[in-house]
Amino acid sequence: MRLWSIHPKYLDSKWLVACWREGLLAKNVLLWNTKWYKNHPQLNRFKASFDQIKSIDAFLYQIYLEAKSRGYNFTLSKINKIDLAWIISVTKWQLDYEFSHLLSKLELRDNCKYRELLKEKNIESNSIFKIIDWEIEKWEIIN
């Protein structure tokens, strides 16, 4: 499961769809609708937020908006339309790590998108995350 902290505009179509599906799975985990993935490290930041379900819905809503801007037809009824900004912290190093991870995957899978993203200098986060200056998140599994 990868719930990207980086802005969804950086994701290619496959990662965007995967993030949506994995975010919906995460929501079901947080709602206790499944016994799988309940201790997944990427869920920790949502579990620690002021409201787990509002937080994951706000995250998914940003994925939905990006998909809609690309002409995709994600089902909005699967989430609550919540447009919240800066409700969870993410570290600058985490964003850098995720962006680097994405680049390494895209270099093999989508060279055009890879070359496009090489020009990016200031990596943006999904708008629900407030960027703080710190190390990679403790929950991250570094490959």
Contact 27, 66 (CB under 8 A): no
Residue 128 pLDDT greater than 90, yes or no: yes
pLDDT score, position 1: 67
pLDDT above 90: residue 83 = no
Q: Where do the domains of the chain lie?
A: 8-132
Per-residue confidence band for 94, with pLDDT thresholds at 50, 70 and 90: very high
CA distances from 116 to 10, 19, 101, 120 (A): 9, 20, 15, 8
What separation, in Å, do the N-terminal and C-terminal C-alpha atoms of the chain show? 14
> In the 8-state DSSP scheme, what is residue 71?
T
Q: Which two tokens stand for residue 64?
A: 């939905």
Question: Are 3 and 23 within 8 A, CB to CB?
Answer: yes
For residue 13, pLDDT over 70 is answered with: yes
Give this prediction's pTM: 0.89
Please name the amino acid found at residue 51.
D
